[in-house]
Chain A
Amino acid sequence: MSKSEILGNIRRGLKRGEASTEQKASVAQRLSRHTRNLVPQRAQLPHEEQIKLFIEMAKEAAAEVFELESIDDVPAICNQWLTSHGLTHIVTGSDSELLSLDWSKAENIATEQRVAQVGDQASLTLSFAGIAETGTLMLHSRGESPTTLNFLPDTHFVVLNRSDIVGPYEDAWQKLRESTNGEMPRTVNMITGPSRSADIEQKLQMGAHGPKDLIILLINR
């Protein structure tokens, strides 16, 4: 009932009845084309410069960035960071790349693959893309990468391949559509730096409800 009343009001306002077949077809066509609006010049760069911009913007958003030669270096850097912060535990996604990591040299760190729980110290996930325009990570939910890992632990380590860095957001949408055959994952998270709030007297404080530290591990791949 409400639906027909709301749509009826809208159509009355537009001075027409239900949209014609042509109007609907024109909208359907617009939806399928994914036409881009203006893409800022800043995001349209050669790939090497995109990487440079990504790092610069991510740091500006208060993320830490470590450049690593190989994904095999991830346990060592996590170990070093966590140990220096007095932490001993990390929950990781279960993507094959993460499962194959060798943590044996990170003796003081316990690892687990599961969803995040209240009280978790740190998490490690893969990211789908990096967006140079604003230093933004794009992650999406799937069986191997529970969404809670991105939000609940105090520290979030994210692995990003240099080859997965794109210029503007639009390139990331295209990449996502291609990789999922146009099926939207349940959740897509665009993350730019660690959690923060300025709700108390407009004074910016880091670490509100999401991770207090966002650490990007940029892999030379």
Chain B
Amino acid sequence: MQINSPAFKENARIALHDVNLQKALGNLKAGFPTKRAAAVARMPEFEQLRDEGTALKNHILENLDIYLEQFEENVVKNGGHVHWCRTSKDACKTILDICKEVDAKTVTKGKSMVSEEINLNDYLEKNGVEPIETDLGEYILQLRGDHPSHIIAPAIHLNLEDVSDIFHEKHHRPKSSDPAVLMQEAREMLRQKFASADVGITGANFFVAETGSTIIVTNEGNGDLTQTLPKTHIVVTSIEKVVPTLEDMTLFLRLLARSATGQEFTVYNTLSTGPRRAGDQDGPENFHVVLVDNGRSEMVGSEFQEMLRCIRCSACMNHCPVYGAVGGHSYGWVYPGPMGSVLTPKMIGIENAGLLPNASTFCGKCESVCPVRIPLPKLMRHWREDEFSRHLSPKAVRWGLGGWAFFAKRPALYRILSSSSNLFLRLAAGKKGRIKKLPLASGWTNWRDMPAPSGKTFMQQYKSGKKD
């Protein structure tokens, strides 16, 4: 996926005026948060599970190297292979080499954000291997030449008509306004592809050091067909997804479904441990795990280590007012919303993604719903500081902050300015107490009136309180 994060402001402006997108985003806002709240209410221990999940992730990160090596040992013991890849390029090349080894023409793919991150589809296509997305949302996007705008609901930015139109164009069948008919159409189109693919590629929600297993969590069953039918199964995943035992994985599964879709449990939770065994009638003959680093190992011990706790549930973006207003594509790369605003600058550079951690109201909702309590606003603030200290912030921001600092360092002057601004704003607001237009604040007043300060400044109130 091409990097379009530097254009966040322009993307957001377009998104806010896109009627269809706003309609589609309405479906998100009406759905996930309500479902999550209901599922959480049914699990009285949910807060304790979050605490345990947070502590367990911290323990894993403190011992990450040991768990990764243990995982590798067990995969090999079960007849599989582990490939360690530092960069996207390494990972793509490794996967292509495996495909070439088995002379693969087509590859079915389960949903995998890591494969989006490393831009795998483009790489395979350029090198003569056809990737076929099998998750319904991803399949729709692939037909449209589009990319996911959400990490668990990839086609959330589309409406029924968009799906109907592209299916009509590509499947040459009549248009339909019934989602059930459209889904059946996709099912029929993909059946034979599952069976005839040479290689199946899936991601992994977690992988288990104790057993050398990987696990995928899906509602559709496409990932399961992807990994069972072809002769070779490649799992592409990132290093922080290791968990010690099956019991530890279970803790995260209890958190994941409820935080993501508000389900009690996802329909299919499937563990894969090595290739086909003696006596098995089906299953892949080759099992490869491609471990992707892509900057994560450098986050260990850094101010961004807590981000490595993320289990990709999407609760942060489902509850984010900014994501809800502008959608995932505005963020301009693979990971949108609050988690993306922390992760993306690490992966594509703060010079390309500086606008993302700034696109937050810091309302804190993301942190309050995160199943592993990642302090997302704090981490975004780290990026803001980093951007500022490296002189990457826009001039207007730097001058604005410089001007503010000048007054803030001079309390007497600051008080004169704040009390006179207070008076000015109240006079400008008139009797209604709201300002329709304000110089330098059109970003606010173009959309809503600015409320005027209601009374005296804090220091004026503090002083009068002292006298009492």
Contact = CB atoms under 8 A, between A and B. Distances in A.
Interface string B173-215: 0000001101110010011101100000000000001111100
B414 interface: no
A154 B302 CA distance: 50
B220 interface: yes
A75 interface: no
Interface residues of A, number: 79
Interface string A138-149: 000111001110
Contacts, number: 266
Contacts of B210: 31, 34
B70 A27 contact: yes
Interface size bracket, B side: 35 or more
A101 interface: no
Main secondary structure of the interface of A (DSSP, over half): loop
B155 A169 contact: no
A209 B222 contact: yes
Contacts of A9: 293, 297-298, 300
Given A146-B282, A169-B253, A199-B135, A185 B273 contact: yes
Interface string B287-326: 0000101000111111001000000000000000000000
B247 A34 contact: yes
Interface stretch (B224-232, B336-344, B374-382): B224-232
Contact of A13 (B84, B195, B270, B301): B301
A187 interface: yes
A135 B247 CA distance: 18
Interface stretch (A35-43, A80-88, A158-166): A35-43
A196 B180 CA distance: 10
A105 interface: no
B127 interface: no
A208 B270 contact: no
B119 interface: no
A200 B182 contact: yes
Contacts of B267: 61, 191-196, 210
Given A2-B85, A152-B225, A170-B250, A31 B179 contact: no
A50 B66 CA distance: 38
Contacts of A202: 27-28, 30-31, 153, 156
A169 B264 CA distance: 13
A2 B89 CA distance: 12
28 contacts: A3-B84, A6-B293, A6-B297, A7-B68, A10-B65, A10-B297, A14-B62, A14-B64, A23-B66, A27-B244, A31-B244, A37-B248, A37-B251, A40-B43, A141-B283, A148-B229, A187-B228, A188-B273, A194-B267, A195-B220, A197-B137, A197-B219, A200-B160, A202-B30, A207-B187, A209-B136, A209-B220, A210-B267
Given A188-B273, A202-B153, 14 more contacts: A5-B86, A7-B297, A10-B297, A31-B70, A31-B245, A37-B250, A148-B225, A148-B229, A151-B228, A173-B247, A184-B273, A185-B277, A193-B267, A207-B184
